[in-house]
Chain A
Amino acid sequence: MSEALLRALKRISRVRGVRGSMWVSAEDGITVADLLMEGVRGRAIAALAASLARKVSGAAAATGSGKVRFVQLEAEEGTLLVAVAPGDLLIVALADRRVNVGLLRLEMMRAAEAAAA
């Protein structure tokens, strides 16, 4: 696993409430690197994140809204966040309800920008 990718995941996982973070291939939903708490179902999360990003990107393209940069699925027990990074990669985080979404979003966007550099 690339050190840079892992460092980014460690920073994201330090945000309170985060249960796991991953780099995922946007094309096929395959995990590239992950840092997950015990019991977190990484493969299912990666597949959902990629599919979600693809579908909302389709809706954004259809409505002339441009390229999607960030997606958040909010649910009863937590939230799934996806930041679109260059190189066909997604940064994905799974968090519980306590999470500061604004802070987590900042960390994820920072990681996406770092991946572009």
Chain B
Amino acid sequence: MRDDISRLSETLAREPSSLAYAELAELLRRRGQLDEALQVVLQGLTRNPMHADGHDVLARIYADQGDLERARLAWSKALEIAPDHGGALKGIAFLLFRQGDARGAVAALDQVLTVNPADEPARRALETMQAAEQRVSAAARPPAAMEMPEPPRPDASGRRPGIFQGFDGATDDILLLDQRGLIVAGGVTGGGGADVSELAAAALAGVSGEASRAGEYIGLGAWRTIMAEADTANLVVAPVGERALVLVRRDRSTPIGLALRFAERARDVALAWLEGKGA
């Protein structure tokens, strides 16, 4: 990645109007260098204001910074320029989902897949969001007299990939999410067996980028794990590649060191699965 950054920087130095700025800004963003990424993309957009990819990268940077309103404006601008822009549509879907509009998010992702049926990350996100929409619809429906639906269970329905099969708590205590707080696989349940995966994932949105940026800045280097001891459970969060996280919950009776080993195994499985998916 460092070589790519050097190469793109040189290209931009030679040709300041080059569209390589968007790729450079995206690489910097992925490294957690958000300030530098923002500077590059804003300069690039000054010279190329109608470049949809640039607005898409700008929106991602704002989203990583937690500025969702600016992210929305930038993705909207990208869609004004290129109405079928896949990255911007996915971004808008992400924002709608975060706002609780699962139906709007599904519509946006449907459009992505219409344009590019081979977009696997969009298909997985669509599956997650359709599951959420169905739960919302079911909750809004007046209950039938004898109807007593089971609480949603991710793997029982087959809607989320059951990649942690064989692990203790595979569908209740292990969650794979992306750095924006979207569920990728697994699941976490709360009291009464209710699926709380979306809440847990949303709480951890942005933690990876923040740990990376701040870790480098304060001299800790790349982060490996975050462990939290709470009243009734130990939580372990570990990065899975550059863009995903695994959250593992273990009962407080499990020693933290053992919980850590468990999380590392879950991370390895998740990494292998993501690589197999080409993600």
Contacts and interface: CB of A to CB of B under 8 A. Distances in A.
Interface stretch (B15-23, B36-44, B73-81, B215-223): B215-223
A51 B207 CA distance: 8
A67 B230 contact: yes
Interface in B210-263: 210-211, 214-215, 217-233, 235, 237, 247, 249
A64 B231 CA distance: 9
A65 interface: yes
Contacts of A52: 207, 210-211, 226
B190 interface: yes
Interface string A3-18: 0000000000000000
B107 interface: no
Interface in A64-83: 64-80
B219 A78 contact: yes
A94 interface: yes
B9 to A, nearest CB: 25
Interface in A45-70: 45, 47-48, 51-52, 55-70
A56 B218 contact: no
B253 to A, nearest CB: 13
B223 A60 contact: no
Nearest to B192: A64
A103 interface: no
A64 to B, nearest CB: 4
The contact size tier of chain A is 35 or more
A44 B190 contact: no
Contact of A66 (B215, B217, B222, B231): B231
Given A44-B218, A47-B214, A52-B211, A62 B223 contact: no
B223 A48 contact: no
A60 B211 contact: no
B204 interface: yes
Interface string A23-47: 0000000000000000011001101
Nearest to B251: A65
B235 A65 contact: yes
B196 to A, nearest CB: 5
B229 A70 contact: yes
A93 to B, nearest CB: 12
